[in-house]
Amino acid sequence: MIHFLKDNTCCQDGGGDGPEGKDCLSKWKRRLETVSNKYNISSANTIKAHAEYQSSLAWQMKLKNWNDIIKETDENADAIVKELSFFIEQTGIVCDNSAETVKAFKRLLGLVKSIFDTFYDYNGEKGLKHKIIGFKKEIECLKNVSEEDKAEVIQCIEVYEEKIIMVCDMTDTVLKQLLETFKYTNLLHSSIGGCYGLEAKLDEMLDVFEGSSNGGNPSYAATSKVEKEEDSKEKSKGRKKPILDNNYSYPCNDVVVQPMPQLPINQSYYYIQIEQDLERALHKTESLKNDWIDCKKVSDKHLSERDSLREAIKNAESAESTK
């Protein structure tokens, strides 16, 4: 075995006259050094490729999660639009009915008021309350009627007079209750219909969800000036390039691309951009995965060659030491 390792012919590439060493063990050691360097480089490339792949995969999963949330939110927004449309339709019916109720109640109030007016003097015309008193006096002044008949008639008139007085006593209470009810009927109608009523508010909400409140453009959620400034500062910290450039390093920074709610969602720039970014991330991740696999194959090849050389050198040195 030792004779074989020391035999010059085992390491000769040709005739054996070249300047290279003819000793197999020395040649294996030089080869091991070369292969080890190649493995270190390929291993570093593999680690880098794997890190890039993992980073891209994580970014892809974030985009997928956002895209799923956006689609689900868009479906919910569509459901809200349908529910709002139905609710607005029903509110319109209630509004029309309340308007008719106000008109009818106004007529009823006028009718009741006119009935009560007949009991009181009005515009020089005597009311029933005054007329019944005059009627009693006229009965008492009759000369061709017996006192018994007068008393009987006056008794009937007094019963009627008591009822008139009772009705007159109810005037303030009844009219007050009617006016109070009329007031709340008006309030109910104005709170449902009109420029500031429920129907108008629901229409505004529907316009927002449909995106028609901003000239057909996506509507941004209301944000205070302070919140906008803080959001801008936070994004500027994580931004590697200006936001208008739209050329972020890949994978992107999730702080930079933090979503801003827009309605309708399916027409918003963010919705479209996320879909495009997700498609790009899918291709990029697949490409990085293939690069990592290719790098790993190279590093595994160099690793196998390095381990084989180490084992051969170890065996050779062991054999030489026992010579």
For residue 172, tell me if it sits in a domain.
yes
User: pLDDT value at position 258?
Assistant: 59
The domain in which residue 71 lies consists of: 28-221+260-321
Between CA 252 and CA 27 the distance in angstroms is: 49
Asked if residue 250 belongs to a domain, the reply is no
- Mean pLDDT across the stretch 95-115? 91
**pLDDT per residue as tens digits for the range 64-81:** 998 898 888 888 888 988
Alpha-carbon distance 23 to 2, whole Å?
11
Highest mean pLDDT among 36-40, 159-163, 267-271: 36-40
Mean pLDDT of the chain: 78
> What end-to-end distance do the CA atoms of the chain give, in Å?
9
Span of 144-148, 255-259, 274-278 with lowest mean pLDDT = 255-259
The number of C-alpha atoms within 13 Å of 259 and in the hemisphere containing its C-beta is: 19
Give me the number of domains the chain comprises: 1
Looking at residue 251, what is its pLDDT? 61
**Does 249 fall in a domain?**
no
Q: Which residue has the higher pLDDT, 132 or 16?
A: 132
The predicted structure's pLDDT at residue 290: 95
C-alpha span between 235 and 243 (Å, rounded): 9
Q: Give Rg (Cα) of the chain.
A: 50
What pLDDT sits at residue 252? 63
Q: Is residue 109 part of a domain?
A: yes
Domain assignment of residue 33, yes or no: yes
Amino acid 108: pLDDT:
92
Q: What's the burial of 173, exposed, middle or buried (CB within 10 Å: 0-12/13-18/19+)?
A: exposed
Q: What is the average pLDDT across 80-86?
A: 91
CATH of residue 121's domain is: 1.10.287
Distances (CA, A) of 2 to 5, 15, 23, 25: 5, 22, 11, 11
Say whether pLDDT at 134 is over 50. yes
Assess if residue 22 is contained within a domain: no
pLDDT tier at 293, thresholds 50, 70, 90? very high
Does residue 244 sit within a domain? no
What is the reported pLDDT for 259? 58
Q: Judge whether 203 lies within some domain.
A: yes
Answer whether residue 100 shows pLDDT above 60: yes
**Greatest mean pLDDT range, 5-14, 47-56, 186-195:** 47-56
